[in-house]
């Protein structure tokens, strides 16, 4: 089965408004998460916000949505973020998305 193209929700590569359908929003956020963070790549709050700014005028809101959806995790103090879930947009080689073995980065 072919994965739907989430870029249809972007205008000139940017998110101008969220799709109405929940499934489309899930697809779009998974796509954005894989574009701004490698799996288990720790980044600062500022770095993640800067990366998200390439996709949206409200990078803080998008960052919050990624955390709320469980696509991105953060430390208690919000200083470090990392992507925790394998998505359909990850290149897994011989593995598949059920092989999720993601651990938090070392502090």
Determine how many CB atoms are found less than 10 A away from the CB of residue 107: 7
Mean pLDDT, rounded, of the chain: 86
Radius of gyration of the chain from its Cα atoms, rounded to whole angstroms: 14
Domain 6-83 has CATH 1.10.10: yes
Domain ranges for the chain:
6-83
Query: What mean pLDDT comes out for the span 2-31?
Result: 90
- Alpha helix positions (H), the chain: 22-36, 45-52, 59-68
* pLDDT tens digits along 39-76: 999 999 999 999 999 999 999 999 999 999 999 999 99
This prediction has a pTM of 0.80
- Residue 97 is inside which H or E element, if any? none
Phi and psi, residue 99, nearest 5°: -90, 40
């Amino acid at each position: 089965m072919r994965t739907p193209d989430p870029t249809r929700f972007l205008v000139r590569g940017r998110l101008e408004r969220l799709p109405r359908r929940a499934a489309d929003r899930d697809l779009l956020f998974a796509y954005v998460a894989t574009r701004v963070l490698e799996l288990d790549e720790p980044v600062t709050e500022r770095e993640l916000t800067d990366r998200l700014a390439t996709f949206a005028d409200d990078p803080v809101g998008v960052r919050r949505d990624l955390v709320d959806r469980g696509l991105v995790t953060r430390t208690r103090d919000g200083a470090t973020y990392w992507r925790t879930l394998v998505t359909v947009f990850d290149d897994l080689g011989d593995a598949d998305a059920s092989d999720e073995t993601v651990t938090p980065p070392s502090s």
